[in-house]
Amino acid sequence: MATTEDFRVVLVDDDVDTCETLSELLKFDGYSVRVATTAQDAIQAVNEYQPVCALLDLGLPDFDGCELSKRLRAAHGSDIVLIAVTGRSGDDEHNQALAAGVDHVLCKPLTVENLRRFFPPLN
């Protein structure tokens, strides 16, 4: 039988309020969540926590989400699902994210419905 620990997610966003809101929603739905507010913290969290998925903001203060995606993909291969979140709706950024190894791209504002397409409630 699976436990919530089996459904680990690392949430990466430099906006603390966004992290708090999304983290609480995911936890409420049965996920185990770690939060990182920089790309460097995200790398450490993924290495230590070994999540099944990372939800990545593309605009981070130390280096962008595309570079983070490349590094995570190089280190973890297909063992992790990478979902990018961006405030830009243009195809260029979406294509860059996909080329960097992201599996899916979601646009902000991120609605509960869009989030639950990828993270359905477990409980």
For 53-103, give the DSSP string: EEEEES--SSS-HHHHHHHHHHHHGGGSEEEEEES---HHHHHHHHHTT-S
The per-residue pLDDT for range 17-70, each reduced to its tens digit, is 999 999 999 999 999 999 999 999 999 999 999 999 999 999 999 999 999 999
The per-residue pLDDT for range 56-110, each reduced to its tens digit, is 999 999 999 999 999 999 999 999 999 999 887 777 888 999 999 999 999 888 8
Confidence band, pLDDT 50/70/90 cuts, at residue 1: very low
- CA 39/CA 62 separation, integer angstroms: 6
- Residue 4's pLDDT is 52
Third-level CATH fold of 4-117 = Rossmann fold (3.40.50)
